[in-house]
Amino acid sequence: MSSVNLLVLTISLGFGLLASTAAFLITYKEWMHHYTDKKEPTKHGLKVAFVTFLFFVALSILASVIISQFILNQ
């Protein structure tokens, strides 16, 4: 694994973690208005956080592949 690939992976994991944390907090706070216990909002928040994490990691890796192909073909 080259250092560029490792850097891209590290950056995408970092942004994915930040995005999923924000998504969890937003979803959790919104669902807390509808439930009295904390179990159900936590479950909804974790689902949204997981999907958000996967989306941002996949999107950043895809963007890095497209950008690197664009730069190499010039």
Q: What is the pLDDT of residues 27-64, one digit of tens each?
A: 999 999 998 888 999 999 999 999 999 999 999 888 88
Residue ranges of the alpha helices (H) in 1-74?
A: 3-32, 39-72
pLDDT value for 1: 58
Give the structural domain span for 41. Answer: 3-72
Burial 31-48 (b: 16+ CB within 10 A, else e): bbeeeeeeeebbebbeeb
pTM score: 0.82
Cα Rg, the chain, nearest whole Å: 17
**Which is higher by pLDDT, 63 or 3?**
63
Give me the number of domains the chain comprises.
Answer: 1
What is the rounded average pLDDT of the residues 13-32?
Answer: 94
**Which is higher by pLDDT, 68 or 20?**
20
